[in-house]
Structures are given as structure tokens and as C-alpha cells.
Structure 1
């Protein structure tokens, strides 16, 4: 249902051409910018926004971007080439024939604005919108129609409009989270299966769709100049999405960003220093979803934190990702990209005892509800569950839940989360660090006998031979032992236990 609590003026969408009610600093045909630190950007009349090249951290690569220019951190609000940064020396041209093209130093095309017809000039507007204008038909292209991960006051999203997260804080390639306005009128957040654009089930829905009466359904998302974000229905009704206190827009900058961790956040930043402090930062006003760790409920998705990890909401209910014991982040610089096993070893019946090879670790209240089970055991208590996994060559993770059920999980695990509102335990079997890959096939007693036999043979040769022969034998034996050690170090690990899982069965499960 739609709410009528907002001021009547919010009923009127902000039309693009009305946003030009300002003194523009027009950019004429033939103008260009170069990707370098010495090339000054194009500014909006107020100086609040700048359009130009933004250098990526410690790299000779640049984004063609728009940013807040009067605040210290120069926060980006739009960028064109996140998947294909421009090398230093690249150039963007507003050509004499009215096109807007970004080329690398060799003249190869990196990006081009998809204009509808020839532009006569360009302008950076005070609302953060960069526009290409035809004298007769108005805007032929604008950055507001092709947003990256952020929307600004006076900006709208129409049906089919979307925001895409970046991959991480400093990587502007398209990430796996998406915000979009669906044809049914719902504003949703969902993950996508990169590198494809396949859209998984939403983990947030605005509930602004009415199947019984489509006129009640949303068709436009508007970020009002006063700082409210709402969904406008076809009948003029509105649903306000903004929660929390909205401070006067005249004193604060606003932006709403789909962050790289999948949370959609509206931020505010003071325009001038406050309380005598010259250091200012963005403060969250509101966000959705409230707990992304628990809200992503799609068996086709790998969850908020990626495979073989689990998600813990921090004090601000933002996702913090952790690897399972015995696993490490696949990309230490991106903890949302999942984890890999540190060491994979195969146990075989009749070889060393499991307790000689493995330890068990326990994670309380940790679950992977949509990861596939290869075995479900019931009735089982938690000791039975731990023991069964420990003695099962194929088991790496088992989850005890629902008081009497043990779920043995297939790898990789997905949608991991810590849920303090639900009782249960996860048991993780990890190789002991002091077990080498070659020794696991020899029972301890056999290894000791083998080592003792070798030692006796060496001592016998040394004591029984002449001094001259000892001088020859010592280097020779050293070489033999060194070669044996090198061979042992190069011993290939056995196949992953991922290849030895039992045949899959289907069960109803909930952890």
C-alpha cells in the first residue's frame, strides 16, 4: 500500500529539463579532457560537482567520473568506465560532430555516450547531472540516465533503471549486487551471477506492486530535492522509503549508494564545517536491508560473503565475513569473495587413524541453510554428529540443528550466516598442521620402523667401513637424504575430497 505522508510537492516528478534552471557553464564542441593529474575538470556553476578524470589508487589508470568537489574525500557519484579504466594519457572529446568519446592514448575507443542525436554543447549541472544538449530537442544524453552505484537528489529511476555495486571499495568493476525497479512496480535488491547478468531472487522488496490494480503500482523512483526517496504510483500515490531524520538539504549534501557489500544506504554530509571541526564524513541516514546476512535467502546465490564463508552482522548491521577454520580468503583484499581450503587431505580406510590426521572445530549458531546435503542423519545428538563427520572420509562440515538432525554438507558452502536466534552447531574437520602429505599413508608404527631401519643401516656402514670409505660415504649419504627430502617436498597432494562426495540425495532441510 502507498503512503500519503509526504508533502504534496513530492507528487510531481522532477523533469530533466527543469533542472537546467541555472546559469550553465556550457562546454563547447571541440573541448577535451586528458587523463592526467594536471588536466583540470569541468565544474558545475556552484562548484559543488566536477566532471573529469579520477586516478585509481597507486595506479596509472583513471575513471571518467563525477564527484563532490567541495569536500575533502572527493566522493565519486558517477563513473563511465569502471570495468575498463583508462590509461594515463587517454582523452575524452566532445567532437565537432557532436559525439562524446573516450579513447586511450593509441586512439582506441574505451567508452562513448549513447547519444540519440548530435549534441551542440555539454554542461555540468549543479545537481550533479552531466548533460549533452541539442539546441532544438534538449538533452540527448545525461549521466542521470546511466547511473553507476549512486543516485542524487532530483534524480529518478524509471522501470528498468538500475544501480550496480562496485566489486570492492577501490575496485569500480561491476559487482554482484543490483538495485532495480521491476515492471511490476517493486524496487528490489538482488544478487547477480557474474560474469553473466542472471538475476537471483530479491533479498529486499519495496512492496509497491498491486496486482489487483496496476494503477496503484510504482512506476518511478524519485530522490526528491528535500532528501526523501519514494516510489511514485501511476495514480499519483507515493510510498516513502526514507526512514530516520532528514536534515535540511540546504546544509547537507545527500547521496544514496548501493555499497559494495550489497546494502543500499542514504548518506548525508555537511556542506560546511560543523562544531569547529574541519574533518567531516558521510553519515548514514537509513539503509536496507536491515540485516543482509539473514535476508539473502536464495539457494542459487552464494550469499553475502561468498562460498565457504559465513556472514556476521556488525554493530551497524553491515555484513562482516569470516572464513571457516582451515580456510582462507580467496582474495585477502576482498573478503566478500569467499574462501578456499588451506590444505586438502584424503583419509583412506586402513591408513592412519582419523585422530592422527584431523582436528574438529566448532562454530556455534552457524548455518548454511541452502547448501546441499549429501547425508542427513536422524535422530542424532551433537556428539553423534561430530563423531560421524570425524570418521567420514568425505565429510568436512556437518551441522547439528533442530535438536536431533545432523546434516553433512557438500562443498562449496553458500549463504553462510551466524544466527544467534537459533540454536545449533557447525563441526568443521581440518587437517592437523604437522601432518605432511606423504606421511599420511603410513601408519605411525610403520614410519617409525622405516626411520629406525634407515638409521641402523647408515650407522652400520659408517662404523664398519674404513676412514677413507667414511669420507666417501658421508657426502654420498647426505646427497641421497637431500634428494629424498626434495622428492618428499614435491609429492603431489591427493585429489580433493570435493571429488569424493557420495551420491547426492534430496531431503527437506533447514540449516
Structure 2
């Protein structure tokens, strides 16, 4: 089963037609389900999500929907008897408790348009825009759309689940475009891609051109960085539709698919197998969810020898070579002997892992995160594991290889771009990438 993670850019052609939607119009999941662009390229409305329906914008006219924007993406799906109503305040799902607004306009809205650019727009009576989806991206940028300073794109959990995933792309206020895990702070130690444009000032924007050109503009409109060169066909006035979902990479932020921090869950680390990422558990740990490698790993043994002094159970250390992890050690000792480092951890009930580089011994508590195989590191990791000395005499001991009941809630961290910048999330493409879809002229 594939991993899920990143961003792609799906480039499509459109004309500038639109059609208006009057206030009081409504949609339901089963009848009158969408508002189409005049060309039929994009649709706004209900689409299948899990056991119910979500509201968003997607490519129309193809069996498998490519979703480019989702309203309230982390809300549970709605049932098939829901109604989406366009009111003067925006778009609402009427409930017994009142109106649940999926879109709230900044002023009174008189009519709406689903533009062929993929932008859904609300206007007041003076034809001024009071809300537009282009200013509220989720996991996708479309041609002509910008990511404004201070805003972010968040990956989806999967192609079938468009709720917030484990990565984010942020257009920082300092002018730097950076990728982070969702749960990490905006600091360089957690970044796994940067445009290296820090210090370029406020109001820098990420721009996505119709020709696949991805670039940064400062507040004066000056190009400060070309992320890609573009060069894809830009034949205006022609409409193209996806014939089948064939994608190939035009650009990606990293060739190493284990670079994104948080790709593997807690207590697991990323290994490249034929250039594809695979998550491995710490020694004597096993996956929390075999079908989801981002779920992390948990112990398959009871580690109580240190604190309870159980004579039927003892602690030992198992080595894990050539891996790097987030450094949040609670103690660092100047030691030159590996065995002294190991013994120091075994004698410390708070210590669950140590990292030794020949001169320093760093003690860690679990969980470990942001792990990846790195053959270039000289640091060696040693993980404390429990070994039963008399396995048949203590019923509390869970044998290695068996599944421990219960689990601790873990933080799962995820991102995707589309031409569309579409954070379509597939672990095989766990870095920001521009993708070009095969098209046929319509």
C-alpha cells in the first residue's frame, strides 16, 4: 500500500468564461450536486468523501475526481440529505442548531461565479469580490494563483482523504519559502526544503504561471527567485481535459524521498529501497498500523526491569547503525568509550536510547522522531530493549514479536503541490513536485 504525503502541480488550460450563481441557489449531494464552469473544466459542489460527502472544487468530466480545494477539510463528511445554501453571508449547511458556514464572506454577497481558472468567487452588489477560494488554498495552487505572505499549503492525507496531512509549505513573512512537518515549529532545524530567500522582506508571494513557471515576487513585483523555468505550452483560448491520470515529474524539491521530516511516524525511520521510501521500526518495536507506515511503531515487549527490578526480565541495548534523528537529548556526557555510554543508559531508568559519536554520549527518552537512514553519519544509536530471562514464570511479560495491547496516541505529521500546485499525497512522491498531466484537446 503506498505511503501518502506531498505536493504536485497539475497544469491545465482554461479560458476566461464564467457563469453566475444567484443568491438563494442550493446544492445537494444527490440532485443538483455542482455548479460548473461555463467550459465544464471545474466544478464546485459535493463529492464523495469516505462514507459521506465533502464540499470542494474539482476537475469535472472525469470518473476519478481530482480535488483542488476543500471547504472545512477536517470536518466529518455530511450525509446525503445535506443542503448547501448560498446566502447573503456566504455558503451554509443548515442544521438544527443553525447555519454551519463553509464559506463566510467579508461583506454581503449578492451572487457567485465558478470561474474557468478554478477560482470560486463571491461578489457584492457593486461587483466587488467579498471572498474567493484563491485566497484560501488548501493543498493546491492553480495557474494564476498566488500563495500570499504568511500563508501555507497543507498536504492531504491521501488521494481519497483530503483532510489535513503531515506536511506544509509556508510562504514566510521573511521572504523564505519553506517546507516543514505539520507539527514542527518554524525553525531551520525542522525545514527540509528552503528557497534560500530569507531577508527579502515582507509580502513576498509564491506565484504559479500558466506555463508551469513557479517563482517568487517581492512587494515591488520584482522576481527574486525562479523555482522552475516553466516552458510548458500556454496556448490561450484552448481547453484541454485530462484523458487519464498519467503524471510525470517536471520538478521536485529533493531527489531523496526520505528527506521530508516526519515521513515515517514515531519510533520509526526512513530507508530508501530502489529509490522509494520505506519505514522501519526501532529494534523490538512493531508498526502501530501495518497499513499505514506514518502511524509509527510501538514496543512489543514490557520494559519494566529497570524500575521494578523484576528478576525475570532484564534490559539490554541493541545497536541501530547509520541513522539520524531529531536531537532533543535530556543529557549529554563527554565520553570516548562506547561501553561507558551504554552502561550509563542501562543504569538510568529515564534513559531509553543513547547516541554516541566517539566523544559525546547523548541520552534520550522515547519517542524518537524524524528518523532516516544516513550512511554519512558516524553517530551510533543504541536502543534499550527488554529481554525476558524466565519467560514462562511471569504472565505480565509479553514475548518479543507479540502485539502489546493498547497504544499511545501519536502525532502524525504531512504535503502536496498541484499545475494545480497540488499536495496530492503519495509516499512515492514525498517532496514538492511539479507534475504535468497528459491532455487531449477538446
Structure 1 and Structure 2 fold alike (TM over 0.5): yes
For residue 162 of structure 2, give the secondary structure of its aligned residue in structure 1.
strand
1:246-294 Cα shifts (integer Å, max 9, x gaps):
532559x9xxxxxxxxxxxxxxxx8454xxxxx4323332222555755
The equivalences for 1:368-379 within 5 A come to: 368-374=325-331, 376=333, 378-379=335-336
The runs of at least 4 aligned residues of structure 1 exceeding 6 Å deviation read none
- Paired residue for 1:283? 248
**Contact 2:156 2:165 survives alignment (8 Å):** yes
**Contact 2:153 2:168 survives alignment (8 Å):** yes
Verify: 1:398 aligned to 2:392, yes or no. Answer: no
For residue 245 of structure 2, give the secondary structure of its aligned residue in structure 1.
coil
Distance 1:222 1:243, change over 3 A: closer
- Paired residue for 1:225? 210
* Mapped partners of 1:249, 1:328: distance in 2: 50
1:358-409 Cα shifts (integer Å, max 9, x gaps):
665432201325131446361114x6655665676655433333x4544342
- Paired residue for 2:74? 83
* Mapped partners of 1:440, 1:20: distance in 2: 67
Unaligned residue ranges in structure 2 (runs of 5+): 1-12, 398-403, 409-442
- Paired residue for 1:307? 266
**Contact 1:371 1:415 survives alignment (8 Å):** no
Distance 1:350 1:222, change over 3 A: closer
Distance 1:107 1:391, change over 3 A: closer
- Paired residue for 1:92? 84
**Contact 2:58 2:67 survives alignment (8 Å):** yes
* Mapped partners of 1:106, 1:365: distance in 2: 57
1:140 Cα offset (Å): 1.6
1:76 Cα offset (Å): 0.6
For residue 134 of structure 2, give the secondary structure of its aligned residue in structure 1.
helix
RCO (CA 8 Å, sep 6+): is it higher in 1 or 2? 2
* Mapped partners of 1:224, 1:44: distance in 2: 20
* Mapped partners of 1:179, 1:322: distance in 2: 26
1:339 Cα offset (Å): 2.7
1:125 to 108, 111, 115: 115
* Mapped partners of 1:437, 1:200: distance in 2: 50
**Contact 1:84 1:110 survives alignment (8 Å):** no
1:56 to 7, 26, 49: 49
**Contact 1:246 1:285 survives alignment (8 Å):** no
Distance 1:123 1:392, change over 3 A: same
* Mapped partners of 1:167, 1:289: distance in 2: 20
Distance 1:350 1:65, change over 3 A: closer
More helix by share: 1
* Mapped partners of 1:27, 1:105: distance in 2: 22
1:420 to 339, 353, 375: 375
1:143 Cα offset (Å): 0.8
Verify: 1:45 aligned to 2:48, yes or no. Answer: no
- Paired residue for 1:365? 322
More strand by share: 2
* Mapped partners of 2:247, 2:390: distance in 1: 50
**Contact 2:91 2:101 survives alignment (8 Å):** yes
1:32 Cα offset (Å): 0.7
* Mapped partners of 1:110, 1:192: distance in 2: 26
**Contact 2:214 2:229 survives alignment (8 Å):** no
1:186-207 Cα shifts (integer Å, max 9, x gaps):
222233449xxx6455613323
For residue 370 of structure 1, give the secondary structure of its aligned residue in structure 2.
coil
Larger Rg: 1
* Mapped partners of 1:79, 1:437: distance in 2: 55
* Mapped partners of 2:303, 2:19: distance in 1: 66
